[in-house]
Amino acid sequence: MSTRDRALGAFYGLAIGDALGMPTQSMSREDIVTHYGFIRSLRDAVAEQPISPNLPAGTITDDTEQAVLVADLLVGGAGTIDPMVFAKALLDWEAGMVARGLADLLGPSTKRALKMLESGADPDEAGRNGTTNGAAMRITPVAIATAPELDGLVDAVVAASKLTHNTNIGIAGASAVAAAVSAGIDGASLPDALDQAEHAAALGARKGWWCAGGDIACRIRWARRWVRGMDRTTLSYAVSKVIGTSVAVQESMVAAFALAEALGDSPVEALTTAAGLGGDTDTIAAVLGAILGAQHGLSGFPADLLTPVREVNELDLEPVVDGLLELRKSGS
C-alpha cells in the first residue's frame, strides 16, 4: 500500500467518520437508539437532531470542514500557518455556516480564543484555556504533512494548535492523534502507531499553558489495556459511561483510541460503534476514521460509505492531500 493511499485513507476516513456521526452528535445513547436504532450506515439526520436537523445522509460537519481549512492554509503557506490568517479563516468559516442556517459553529475553546484575539491578546495567550477537542479534530492535515519523528511532529502540532488550544491538555490530545496518523501513513502497525500516540501525548503535555485534567498519555494507555477483549456491546457501554464522550479532549480523544485498540481491524465496525456512543460522536468517529484510514488506506472503506460522502459534499481531497505529501517529502 502506498503512502498516498494511506494519506487519502486518513483524510477520507476523517470525513466518513464525521458523516457517520453527524446524525447522532450531541444526542444521548438512549435517544440515538430511539430515533435510529443501531447505526450501521450513513443516515439522514432526524428533525430532533440538535445540531444538524434534517441534513441528508453523508453530510460532513465542522470536523472535516475545519480540517480542509487547515490543509489549504498549510499548503498555501508552504507548511506554516499565520495565526491571524487562521483566525480570519475560522471566523469566515463560521459566518458561512450561519449564512447557511446551520448550528454547527465554532467550539467553545476556539470561540473564546478568537474573542481574546479580537480584544488585542497575544496569539500565544489566546488559546490558554483551550482544553476541548477542536485542535485534535482538525490536526490530520498536519499529520499528513509531517513525518512521524516526534519532536518535529509535536512542534508542528503546537504551531497549528496554539492559537486556540495552547494548553498541555489540548496539545497532548492533538499530538496523540497526529502521531497515530503520521505513523500509520509511514506504514507502522496499529499497535506501534498507538504506542507512538502515547509517546507524543506525553511530549505534547509539556507544551502550552498548564490546565488541570487527566493526563492524556496515561488515560490512553489505561483505556487501551482496559478495553481489550470486550465485545462490541460491552465496549460501547464502557466507552460512553466510563471513558466519556464529551468535547473534553481527555474524554473524546481517549474514547477514539479505545475504539481503535478494540476494533482497529474492522474500520466500519469501529466507526459505526463510535457513531452510536452518544455525545461528541462526529468528532470521535472522525478522529478514529483518520487513525484507521492511515492503517487500511482508501480501500479500507467500502463504496457505500466513500461515494456518498464524496458526492453529497462535493469533496475532492486528492489535490490537497498531494500538496500535503509534498510538504512531508520536503520536510517543511
d(CA 140, CA 177): 7
Q: What type of residue sits at position 212?
A: A
Please give the grid coordinates belonging to residue 187. Answer: 506504514
DSSP state of 242: I
Please give the grid coordinates belonging to residue 203. Answer: 511530549
Which residues fall in the annotated binding site for Mg(2+)?
61-63, 280, 282-283
- Give, in degrees to the nearest 5, the angle at Cα 144 between 56 and 18: 20
DSSP state of 243: I
| Sign of the four-CA dihedral 296, 8, 57, 277 | positive
d(CA 276, CA 240): 9
Integer-rounded Cα Rg, in Å, for the chain is 18
Residue 245, C-beta contacts closer than 8 angstroms, at least 6 positions apart: 239, 251, 252, 255, 277, 278, 279, 280, 281, 284
Q: Which residues pair with 132 in a beta bridge?
A: 248
Which residues fall in the annotated binding site?
61-63, 280, 282-283
E-assigned strand segments in the chain: none
d(CA 264, CA 37): 23
Question: How buried is residue 179: exposed, middle or buried, by Cβ count under 10 Å (0-12/13-18/19+)?
Answer: buried
CA 24 vs CA 52, 61, 144, 173, 217: distances in Å? 9, 12, 28, 23, 28
Residue with cell 440515538: 32
Q: Are 136 and 249 in contact (CB under 8 A)?
A: yes
> Checking phi first, is residue 82 left (phi over 0); if not, alpha (psi -120 to 50) or beta?
beta
